[in-house]
Chains A and B, each alone.
Chain A
Amino acid sequence: MTESQSPLYDGFKEILKNIDPQRVKDVLSYMRTEAINFNLFKNGAFIERKFPFDVIPRIVSADEFAYLDKGIQQRIFALNLFLEDIYSDQKILKDGIIPSEFVFSSKAFLPEFMNTPVSKNIRVHISGIDLVKNSVGDGWVVLEDNLRVPSGVSYPLSLRMLTRKVFPEFFEKLPIATVTDYPELLLKTMNHVNTGGINVILTPGRYNSAFYEHSYLAKQSGAILATGEDLVVEKDKLYLKTYNGKRAKVGAVYRRLDDDALDPIAFHPDSLIGVPNIAQVYRAGNVALMNSIGNGIADDKGIYYFVPHMIRYYMNEEPILQNAPTYLAYFEKDRQHILQNMRTLVIKDVAEAGGYGVVFGCNLSKSERQNLKDAIIAEPRRFIAQEVIEFYDIECLAENGDFFARKADLRMYSLFGENITVWPGGLTRFTMDPNSYIVNSSQGGGFKDTWVLKDTK
């Protein structure tokens, strides 16, 4: 079923009808000139690759956005409380809402950071919540919470800046919410938690898949883009080294590195892209790291199952957004269900990300299914299974002017500073393969802008 057949798209289609196809080609050429890339490593080789995109946006109504806004705010608030709790009193474990062993056995839980206070008690500064719109029942379903280093925001933002120039008629005639203030929101968020000093975006460097984004956000927000080599720790404080030997104190770091790579002293000793002793500065409360160290425990695919429980536990509210029906192999009853119904389920390895480790049971051969069953029995904590969500297709425009439909999800971003702000836009990712449900950019998926319509009532 194609979402773009909804009456919500009528206004868009009416304007599109009268647009010269040459202008669509202008957009393609401009995106190339700007090197709006999402790079790939394939077979050990670096491939500079433009991020495939489509000019037809996903459109979200004002009512839908109001619902998503509330639901995401609630979810982020609860996840932040969970992280504050799990790295201090661990009440949620003591009260038996989440099995302790389930948390302690996760590699993403970092007990060495217990009782480390964070600036303004905010740990989830920037998040990306992945949702799909279920074509059965027409509701939005959360697939994943990304609370570590969610990437992607710069792509719809860059596309939006461009489409405003090439197709201004859409923005004149349709009540599309403005998204161009994202860098300003990011800066405000950084300033809110900044412990005194400059703001820095820490990038793994030019060969990272999302280097374009790091660079773009630094330029637009005014933060300094730095690699690990550019930063130095002295007496529990973090500094940016400048070309002439001076040092500028750093108060907030929007780090685009995973915990593992962040500090070769505290984490992986082989990391060449981190900053030695930055974790010590964080412990001393002398820098805000965005997002905080140890957030991985909250976006562990197994912990996802417990997010509705967290909302009830910490906030005494019913969850607004629904999870996909999920089974934890860790629980005996669920494990049996998974083993018996593997053909109809999606099985996910909780240690994987980026669309890797996601297996559709129906696509497995008999022996593959048996191997997976054995793995689940051997390491039940490592796997979850979900019902297959029949999410909507979305229309895309081919270069020859034809339309084609692909499965698409939506990543919505929120920033947690003085308040939680859900950005009225988002990254819509679509599959290139018509038979696939995997939309991830690292697996060759494309992207679209997301237009949220303003309430004109």
Chain B
Amino acid sequence: MILISPQTAENLYWMGRYIQRAETMTRLVIQSFDKILDIDPDEGTRLYAKMGVELIYKTPQEFLQKSIFGLEYASLIYTIDNARENAIVTRSHLPNRMFSRINALYLKYQNAKETLPVSIFWLESTLQELDAIWGNLELSLVEAKEIPFIEFGRITERMDLNIRLYNSMEAALFDLEKLNLLGFKLTPHYKKLSLSSSNIEKTLKKINGLYYGTVITAS
């Protein structure tokens, strides 16, 4: 029996989602910044519009600062804060180094907030830290019981973003098999997910509701 409570399972899952979100969005902000410089000044506005967020800026620097610190629920700092908050409550389940790295990244953002503005190099350096956080999960010799919960969150988020940002069902289907394997690992009665709908709203709802309906089944 895997001794993970419903609350912990939820926190591990959301930690995985927020770290994945931070990673994807960091890469996209870096790419957009580059395009805004001299190719397409509206690239950043379009990026955030896909997520239902209005972002108005006048300069590439302003885009950078707003996407990192300015947007309330869609900012990178908010995403990192939430990853860290979930890590704090589950730290007794996490590899020590993984927790330390998440916390160090949180502190890096908090310090940067005090000494604005930050550069694109600064943001790129955070990518290495996100890579290292994932690396910590893969380094242990024996797979910890917590890893599938985090991975489930990570893949769910990746599928969500692939559909939401790129309308790429193909990429989502590529992850689907992994997600289903994790589901069976976590619960023998897992109900396999299949994606056939061309309705994006419906597909996103299905992906985002999967964990609560099939993995976390305790009341």
> B89 an interface residue at 8 Å Cβ cutoff?
yes
Please, which residues of chain B bring their CB within 8 A of the CB of A243? 2, 4-6, 8-9, 149, 186, 215-218
Task: Encode A231-255 as 1/0 by CB contact (under 8 A) with B.
Answer: 0000000001111111010000000
B103 touches A229 (CB 8 A): no
Decide yes or no whether A12 CB sits under 8 A from chain B: no
A214 to B186, CA, bound (A): 26
Interface centre among B9, B88, B92 (most CB of A within 10 A): B92
Check A245/B217 contact, CB under 8 A, given A34-B100, A219-B92: yes
Instruction: Report if B91 contacts A (CB, 8 A).
Output: yes
Q: Output the least CB separation between B125 and chain A (Å).
A: 16
Interface string of B1-15 (1 = CB under 8 A from A): 111111111000000
A246 pairs with B92, CB closer than 8 A = no
Q: Say whether A241 contacts B1, CB under 8 Å.
A: no
* A189 within 8 Å of B (CB atoms): no
Q: B87 → chain A, closest Cβ, in Å?
A: 9
On whether A33 and B217 interact (CB within 8 A), knowing A218-B92, A224-B3, A246-B1, the answer reads no
CB-nearest residue of chain A to B187: A244
Within the complex, what minimum Cβ distance (angstroms) separates A97 from chain B? 44
Report how far A437 CA is from B8 CA in the complex, Å: 41
**Bound Cα distance from A218 to B103, whole angstroms:** 19
A33 in contact with B107 given A242-B5, A245-B217 (CB within 8 Å): yes
Contacts of A242 on B, CB cut-off 8 Å? Answer: 1-6, 218
Q: Mark A197-225, 1 if CB is under 8 A from B, else 0.
A: 01000000110000100111011000011
Q: Which residues of A contact B88 (CB under 8 A)?
A: 35, 206, 211
> Known: A215-B92, A219-B92. Is A241-B103 also a contact (CB below 8 A)?
no
Q: What secondary structure prevails in chain A residues at the interface with B? A: mixed
Q: Which residues of chain B (69-122) have a CB below 8 Å from chain A? A: 88-89, 91-93, 99-100, 103-104, 107
B6 to A33, Cβ gap below 8 A? no
**Closest Cβ neighbor of A206 among chain B residues:** B89
- Distance between B105 CB and nearest chain A CB, rounded to angstroms: 10
Interface size on B, residues (CB 8 A): 28
Please determine whether A225 and B92 come into contact, CB atoms closer than 8 angstroms: yes
Contact status of A215 and B91, CB under 8 A, knowing A243-B215, A243-B217, A244-B186 = yes
Is the CB–CB distance between B216 and A33 below 8 Å? no
| Chain B, residue nearest A216 (CB) | B92
Smallest Cβ distance from A206 to chain B, in angstroms? 5
Q: Does A450 contact B (CB under 8 A)?
A: no
Chain B residues lying within 8 Å of A241, measured Cβ to Cβ, are 5-6, 218
A230 — nearest CB in chain B belongs to which residue?
B5
On whether A244 and B217 interact (CB within 8 A), knowing A33-B100, A33-B104, A230-B7, the answer reads yes
Given the complex, which residues of B lie within 8 Å of A206, measured CB to CB? 88-89
A186 CB-CB contact with B under 8 Å: no
Query: What distance in Å separates the Cβ of B155 from its nearest Cβ neighbour in chain A?
Result: 17
The docked-state distance in angstroms from the alpha carbon of A312 to that of B100 is: 50
Task: Find residues 1-40 in chain B having any chain A CB closer than 8 Å to their own CB.
Answer: 1-9
Most chain-A Cβ atoms within 10 A of its Cβ — which of B5, B93, B189?
B5
Shortest Cβ gap from B17 to chain A (Å): 16
List B contacts of A33 (CB < 8 A). 100, 103-104, 107
Report how far A225 CA is from B107 CA in the complex, Å: 25
In the bound assembly, the distance between CA atoms of A229 and B89 in angstroms comes to 14
Given A229-B7, A243-B218 in contact, is the A248-B103 Cβ separation under 8 Å?
A: no
B161-219: which have CB < 8 Å to A? Answer: 186-187, 189, 215-219
Q: How far is the CA of A225 from the CA of B4 in the complex (A)?
A: 9
Taking a contact as CB atoms under 8 Å apart, the answer to whether A244 and B3 are in contact is no
The answer to the question of A23 belonging to the interface, with a C-beta cut-off of 8 Å to chain B, is no
Contact of A227 among B7, B99, B219 (CB under 8 A): B7
> Is residue A120 contacting chain B, with contact meaning CB distance below 8 A?
no
The B133-149 residues at the A interface (CB cut-off 8 A) are 149
A422-443 interface mask toward B, CB cutoff 8 Å, 1 = contact, 0 = none?
A: 0000000000000000000000
- Please give the distance in Å from B54's CB to the nearest CB on chain A: 31
Complex CA gap A297/B154 in Å reads 50
Our pick among B89, B99, B103, B218 for the contact of A244 (Cβ within 8 Å) is B218
Residue A32 at the B interface, CB < 8 A?
Answer: yes
* A225 nearest in chain B by CB position: B92
- Docked pose: A32 CA to B100 CA in angstroms: 9
From A32, A205, A225, A240, residue with most partner B Cβ within 10 Å: A225
User: A226: CB under 8 A from chain B?
Assistant: yes
| Chain A residue with Cβ nearest B87 | A35
A245 with B103: CB separation less than 8 A: no
- B89 neighbours in A (Cβ, 8 Å): 205-206
> In the assembled complex, which residues on chain A have CB atoms less than 8 Å from the CB atom of B9?
243
CB distance from B211 to the nearest CB of A (A): 10
Select A226's contact among B5, B104, B187, B217, beta carbons within 8 Å.
B5
Alpha-carbon distance A229/B9, docked complex (angstroms): 13
Enumerate chain B residues within 8 angstroms of A211, measured Cβ to Cβ.
88
CB distance from A303 to the nearest CB of B (A): 34
User: Which residues of B have CB within 8 Å of A34?
Assistant: 99-100, 103
Q: Complex: how many Å from CA A219 to CA B8?
A: 14
Query: Which 8 residue pairs are nearest across A and B when measured between Cβ atoms?
Result: A243-B9, A230-B5, A218-B92, A219-B92, A215-B92, A225-B92, A245-B218, A243-B6
Further pairs besides A198-B3, A230-B5, A244-B186: 20, Cβ < 8 Å: A32-B107, A33-B107, A34-B99, A35-B91, A214-B92, A215-B92, A224-B3, A229-B7, A242-B2, A242-B218, A243-B2, A243-B5, A243-B8, A243-B217, A243-B218, A244-B187, A244-B189, A244-B218, A245-B218, A248-B3
- For this complex, 13 residue pairs linking A to B, each with C-beta atoms less than 8 Å apart, are A34-B103, A206-B89, A219-B93, A224-B5, A230-B5, A230-B7, A241-B6, A242-B5, A243-B4, A243-B215, A243-B218, A244-B217, A245-B219
